[in-house]
Structure 1
Amino acid sequence: MADTKKDTLNILGVTIKPGESIEANFDVANLHTSTPVNVPVIIERSKKSGPVVLFTAGIHGDEVNGVEIVRQLIAKGINKPKLGTIICMPVINIFGFINLKREFPDGRDLNRVFPGSPNGSLASRVAHKLIHDIVPHVDYIMDFHTGGSGRFNAPQIRIVENEGHLNKLAKIFGAPFVLYSKNLTKSFRHTCTKLKKPMLLFEGGKSLHIDDLITNTGVNGAKRVLNHLGMLSSKFKVSTPKKDCILINQSKWKRAKYSGMFKASVKISSKVQKGDILGNITDPYGKFNYFVKADNSGYIINVNEAPIVYQGDALFHISTKL
């Protein structure tokens, strides 16, 4: 493992010895006002050698619930390992976070430009720095995301199917759902997979929103994985998930047949049967009321919480095969 063969860790221009705690700076560019932007990287090392785990969030600047999960790991001291090293990067896309926007100021999605380039766009440069200056030092990665604008994701771990080691870690994490999904080209997960750096990608909640259930699921899952690796301090208790995680390898979106005012009537994570009413679409004048029904039985893993929808908008993400 990356932390067992040498006493010192040299990263982002700083040297961290066993037992030390350091806040490094992941700086790429100033604001347009020439104001420096400091992106803190919190590094905690035990005196005992062991794995190096990286916690990341804020790849999309509006996904604040992921940022909150990593913040709590730091604030509660969960990131102080019994052995090995824990690196926390709560906000990678600081430029989007400042403006509460998903993308970078140039409109690029950071999670679609990996592995990046030192001479490319701002997003590409950030991706390159992350891949070349941070990722080579780590053994495991947990990356925290949320759903898109107005769409609430059930807490879930996303991994590629038939990856035995990741499948075991995903079950240990203990989120209600494990969604098997292919790695998107030029995503952070895809690049880390190519570099043979195992990653658990957590999805939960929606953008510009902090939800206690999602936060608790993320924090408790991180604790379980750290405990499995022998890194969690003995002062922290590890809870057992209330239910076994549900494995999902196929799913599809239920889309709006009409435009109008929308209200969901089913709860996130619930199981529905084919033909069940999921919600309804109405008009502002009380003349129209269309009931949205399930095309198949399955679990609701995403709900659109927007009050207004247009024909073709995604309303529900439903598992189709377990």
Structure 2
Amino acid sequence: MSTETNILTILGESIKPGEHKEVNFVVANLHTSSPVNVPIIIERSKKPGPTVLFTAGIHGDEVNGVEIVRQLIAKGINKPKSGTIICMPIINIFGFINLKREFPDGRDLNRVFPGSKNGSLASRVAHKLITEVVPHVDYVMDFHTGGSGRFNAPQLRIAKANKQLYGLAKVFGAPFVLYSKNLNKSFRNTCYKLGKPLLLFEGGKSFYIDDIVTNSGVNGAKRVLHHLGMLSSKFKVSTPKKECVFIEESKWIRAKFSGMFKASVKINAKLEKGDLLGNITDPYGKMNYFVKADHSGYIINVNQSPVVYQGDALFHITTKL
């Protein structure tokens, strides 16, 4: 764990203990030559402690994650009583401007890490983040959102057999912790290789801000900061309503027919085999197919699209805890 008794220099800007500063993360202008300002908000305490990085918006359409980091800043949670907190609410500003997942070059930022100084636009952003910001931090919390139309239960994703992340995940207190392998060229895998523990939070769906998901992310961040001795004493730390469920395996239930779809179960619900999950109908009132659970488990993702095609993923249900 780093101690902070001297000046922190990020992207050419120096921040002394006890200082606040907004540093501009600049990679390229828009195609109109208009400059793009991507502020990094840095808050330092005079008291030494760890450095925590909060990130969101790796995918431009995942606005719920952006909202979580925004609230951390707006409420002053990012002002530590010890150590340093760095907030990057929007990493993929180019996708966020257009509300698109990818960069203008069509690349997924979360598949090009650690990036390259002379590569594609997405690769250059990844390289700058990894070489000029991440080396200064001790912990990372990265906030994501589910895909378009598919609503994720608030959950953390960590690699199995990592005792440090397991402990931090229990402190965070999300309803679910899903064991998943670090994907090649992802931000999470790159941080792992650099020895930077990263908690990846998923919740909600694209283009949508959900209060329950947002509260889960904000409260989890507060618990981790409190655990690290960084949370200001003016903030209360809530105890999770239920102990988090650690998930080893899960399975998607897919549509057997195309048609109009309506789910009849709520996210986070625990199901038994044979329980009714929803139904698929046709626009002419001739068909009504009932979707039922083929095994017991918790629902961690629900497809909220009104129209589905045969083979589409409808429900993500745990199979092994």
- Please confirm whether the aligned pair reaches a TM-score higher than 0.5, indicating the same fold: yes
Q: How far 1:252 sits from its partner (Å)?
A: 1.0
Q: How far 1:277 sits from its partner (Å)?
A: 1.1
**In the aligned structure 1, how far is the partner of 2:210 from the partner of 2:3?**
34
2:284 matches 1:267: no
Match of 1:307 in 2: 306
| Unaligned segments of structure 1, at least 5 residues | none
Letter of the 2:291 counterpart:
V
Match of 2:88 in 1: 89
**In the aligned structure 2, how far is the partner of 1:217 from the partner of 1:192?**
23
- String of CA shifts for 1:12-40, please: whole Å, max 9, x gaps: 11000000000000100000000000100
Q: How far 1:62 sits from its partner (Å)?
A: 0.5
Match of 1:255 in 2: 254
**In the aligned structure 2, how far is the partner of 1:312 from the partner of 1:134?**
42
- String of CA shifts for 1:22-59, please: whole Å, max 9, x gaps: 00001000000000001000000000111000000000
Match of 1:38 in 2: 37
**In the aligned structure 2, how far is the partner of 1:269 from the partner of 1:113?**
32
Superposition pairs of residues 215-226 of structure 1, within 5 angstroms = 215-226=214-225
Q: How far 1:3 sits from its partner (Å)?
A: 3.7
- String of CA shifts for 1:101-136, please: whole Å, max 9, x gaps: 010011110001101001111000000000000000
**In the aligned structure 2, how far is the partner of 1:299 from the partner of 1:253?**
12
**In the aligned structure 1, how far is the partner of 2:311 from the partner of 2:107?**
25
Match of 1:317 in 2: 316
Match of 2:237 in 1: 238
**In the aligned structure 2, how far is the partner of 1:284 from the partner of 1:155?**
33
Match of 1:296 in 2: 295
RMSD: 0.6
**In the aligned structure 1, how far is the partner of 2:73 from the partner of 2:114?**
27
Letter of the 1:287 counterpart:
K
Are the aligned partners of 1:279 and 1:293 in contact in 2 as well (CA < 8 Å)? Answer: yes
- String of CA shifts for 1:268-313, please: whole Å, max 9, x gaps: 0001111111111110000011111111100000000000000111
- String of CA shifts for 1:158-206, please: whole Å, max 9, x gaps: 1011111100100100000011111111110011011110000000000
Match of 2:99 in 1: 100
Superposition pairs of residues 1-322 of structure 1, within 5 angstroms = 1-4=1-4, 6-322=5-321
Q: Which secondary structure state, in structure 2, belongs to the residue aligned with residue 172 of structure 1?
A: helix
**In the aligned structure 1, how far is the partner of 2:168 from the partner of 2:81?**
19
| Unaligned segments of structure 2, at least 5 residues | none
Letter of the 1:295 counterpart:
D
**In the aligned structure 2, how far is the partner of 1:52 from the partner of 1:302?**
33
Letter of the 2:200 counterpart:
L
Letter of the 1:49 counterpart:
P
**What's the TM-score, normalizing by structure 2?**
0.99
**In the aligned structure 1, how far is the partner of 2:126 from the partner of 2:310?**
36
Letter of the 2:141 counterpart:
M
- String of CA shifts for 1:246-282, please: whole Å, max 9, x gaps: 1101001111111110000110000111111111111
**What's the TM-score, normalizing by structure 1?**
0.99
Are the aligned partners of 1:158 and 1:179 in contact in 2 as well (CA < 8 Å)? Answer: yes
Are the aligned partners of 1:3 and 1:85 in contact in 2 as well (CA < 8 Å)? Answer: no
Letter of the 2:277 counterpart:
L
Are the aligned partners of 1:248 and 1:319 in contact in 2 as well (CA < 8 Å)? Answer: yes
**In the aligned structure 2, how far is the partner of 1:147 from the partner of 1:24?**
29
